[in-house]
Amino acid sequence: MNKQLGNKVYQQLKCDIRNHDLPVGVPLKQQALSDKYAVSRIPIRDALQQLKAEGWLVSVGKRGLMIPPLCADEAEDLYRIRVEVEPMILPYVIESMTNQVLGEAEDFLNIIDSNQSLGVLEHGELNWQFHAVLYKVAKRSTLFNTISSLHQQCERYIGFHTRNLGYKVQSQEEHYHLLTAIRNRNLRESQAILKAHIGKAGEQLTDYLKNNP
């Protein structure tokens, strides 16, 4: 199978899940998806399995997969874990930080600022790239991979509160504050900013989901 085609199908499925263009809570039909995207069932099957591994799909029945509803309890758990885990990487980030990496991180923020028409998928990816370029400099693979996995599981929710809760402006301000604290090598402040950044997003999202089941 063409790897580029497989990735295209994977990205399109992810985008359609985020945009609520696929049914939630019912088994997804591989043949229907094959017809929808005009590809064979092989890239559909592989993309579905990848999305299952990332927490975007869950098993149903004997071999089926479905999109789970957005769940307040799951969102709350994911963000609580992130609040504890993500600040753990910052001592290593600050210790190894370079001006080049700081510039790359700021570039991602500038791209978000200069593109007001960014789609949910694009905004979510740029949001992660900002965090990832900072975290990678730590060279702590176990911590980074754990954080990356949590972000993958949060992606559906990140896209949801970016679109539905108007969190984009507030999030950007917090990103710039975090970047400044890291540039100043202020560990305590950077950890406090990151904890508040993740915590506020999680609380806002969880409250919305609980009040709008």
Q: Kindly tell me the number of DSSP H helices and DSSP E strands found in the chain.
A: 10, 2
Q: 122, 98, 97: which is closest to 111 by C-alpha?
A: 122
Q: What is the rounded average pLDDT of the residues 11-27?
A: 88
- Cβ pair 168, 143 in contact under 8 A: no
Q: Is the pLDDT of residue 134 over 80?
A: yes
Give the pLDDT of residue 1.
53
What are the boundaries of each domain within the chain? Answer: 3-66, 72-211
Query: Which residue has better confidence, 25 or 89?
Result: 89
Q: Is the pLDDT of residue 160 over 70?
A: no
The C-alpha atoms of residue 149 and residue 154 are separated, in whole angstroms, by 9
Helix (H) or strand (E) holding 1: none
CATH of domain 72-211: 1.20.120.530
Q: What is the rounded average pLDDT of the residues 173-179?
A: 96
Query: Which residue has better confidence, 156 or 79?
Result: 79
Taking only the tens place, the pLDDT of each residue in 51-75 is 998 889 999 988 899 999 888 999 9
CATH of domain 3-66: 1.10.10.10
Q: What is the rounded average pLDDT of the residues 176-196?
A: 98
- Would you state the structure tokens that stand for residue 24, as one six-digit string? 């939630």
Query: Which residue has better confidence, 161 or 139?
Result: 139
Taking only the tens place, the pLDDT of each residue in 60-117 is 988 899 999 888 999 999 999 999 999 999 999 999 999 999 999 999 999 999 987 7
